[in-house]
């Protein structure tokens, strides 16, 4: 599945150097395939936006759904947003975020929350897009203690 392959590549690009190599290398293609089989098999979860490069290949994607974290007063989540490194800083991430936000609004969500590993470039991306930092936490991710930031936007 193309989305699973691109997701794994983007994930490794985003978190390489921020998580131990064993964690990066430990996430194999079948895990991403299962995730996308489940996600695309249940469209009621929320919108999915896929961006293509000029040749028609997947360059990035984003998805939304119900908020999984315990953050009272918020209901929607930007579940994924990944863009292949070669397409960074071209407006693609901003564009697909806008499409997911519009889809979440159409589904009557009132807010959109993104959970971000605090040490990554994504943290600055969400700040630049006007995300309000609503909480900072330390969580265990695959047996690694990491700092995450939660950014939120109000949907209209």
CA-closest candidate to residue 63, choices 132, 7, 142: 7
List the domain range (segments joined by +) for residue 69: 45-154
Contact status, residue 118 vs residue 148, Cβ threshold 8 Å: yes
Inside any domain, residue 24: no
Average pLDDT by stretches of 10, the chain with 156 residues:
83 86 78 74 78 93 94 95 93 95 96 93 92 95 90 95
Inside any domain, residue 68: yes
Q: How far is CA 47 from CA 7, 26, 61, 62, in A?
A: 16, 28, 11, 8
CATH number at residue 87: 3.40.630.30
Backbone angles phi, psi at 36, to 5 degrees: -75, -30
Inside any domain, residue 34: no
pLDDT for res 36: 73
Inside any domain, residue 103: yes
Q: What is the DSSP letter of 130?
A: T
Inside any domain, residue 135: yes
Inside any domain, residue 3: no
pLDDT for res 119: 87
pLDDT for res 44: 65
pTM: 0.87
How many domains does the chain divide into?
1
């Amino acid at each position: 599945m193309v989305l699973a392959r691109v997701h794994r590549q983007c994930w490794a690009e985003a978190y390489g150097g921020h998580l131990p190599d064993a964690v990066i290398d430990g996430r194999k293609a079948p895990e991403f395939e299962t995730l996308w089989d489940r996600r695309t098999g249940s469209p009621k979860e929320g919108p999915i936006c896929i961006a293509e490069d000029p040749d028609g290949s997947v360059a990035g994607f984003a998805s939304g759904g119900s908020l999984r974290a315990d953050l009272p007063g918020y209901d929607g989540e930007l579940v994924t947003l990944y863009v292949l490194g070669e397409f960074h800083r071209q407006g693609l991430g901003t564009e697909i975020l806008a499409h997911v936000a519009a889809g979440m609004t159409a589904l009557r969500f009132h807010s959109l929350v993104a959970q971000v590993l605090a040490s990554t470039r994504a943290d600055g991306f969400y700040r630049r897009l006007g995300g309000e930092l609503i909480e900072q936490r330390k969580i265990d991710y695959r047996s690694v203690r990491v700092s995450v930031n939660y950014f939120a936007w109000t949907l209209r």
